[in-house]
Amino acid sequence: MTAVSYEVERGIATITLNSPANRNALSAAVRTGLADALAAARADDGVRAAVLTGAGTVFCAGADLKEVSSGEPVTGPGIPEILAAILDLPKPVIAKLNGPARAGGLGIVAACDIAVAPDDVTFAFTEVRIGVVPAMIAVVCKPRMAPRALSRYFLTGETFSAADAVESGLITACAPRAELDGLVDGMLDGLRRAEPKAVGRTKALVEELAGMDRAEAFTMAERLSQEFFASPEAAEGRRSFFEKRPPKWAI
């Protein structure tokens, strides 16, 4: 059994953390498998988006503390590499939580473009309770979360609900378990109808705007808008609209 499974169906790559015996903790095997799966999704032009989920009852418990405590040299890609691979993938990544997430697992959630969870799961930044700092995941959690919520949950290590996670900005939405598949399927249907280059550039745009002042942002945005409106893909999009048919890229 591989630590991370990967399969593609109708343009969607499903990446599953598949180490339920240790609550899908981020062991070297899981990190390596996750990095390989993200690389495969990046390289496959037929993949429009990725769904990241977990096997078993827990999404991800964070760092593999047994592995960290072993004293053995660290192998495989590090957490920053994994988070960067999610952020830099020129395709949307949806975190579809199957269960609770803790510590470093919340970094994985925050790095994804969209994150949804059953309304009965819980979250916690438990690092401070074992004497460590949530340093690496702060890089991806800070842009997502409301400042007061970030401070509270980082500093106290307390457990919070899925509804709290939505309110904080950590996740996009929560729903009863029976409705979660339908929620995600609706999002995937939208991504299958979207033009891949436009989606990839839009993902990059969101991050770029965060570091720009208003004048710089408008200058860049005007240039980008003109570039894409003049593209063959935009011409096809307009034709399909007027002809009341799906565009050629829809799958």
Q: Which residues are identified as catalytic?
A: 127
Contact 53, 96 (CB under 8 A): yes
DSSP string, 134-183: -HHHHHHHHHHS-HHHHHHHHHH---EEHHHHHHHTSSSEEE-HHHHHHH
Q: Please tell me whether residue 32 adopts helix, strand or coil conformation.
A: helix
Nearest in space to 51 (alpha carbons), one of 209, 238, 150, 183:
183
- The phi and psi torsions of 48 (rounded to 5 degrees) equal -95, -30
Task: At 64, list the tokens.
Answer: 């593999």
Q: In the sheet where 122-124 sits, what is the strand order?
A: 101-102, 122-124, 160-161
Number of C-beta neighbours around residue 235 at 10 A: 11
* Nearest in space to 171 (alpha carbons), one of 97, 104, 103, 120: 97
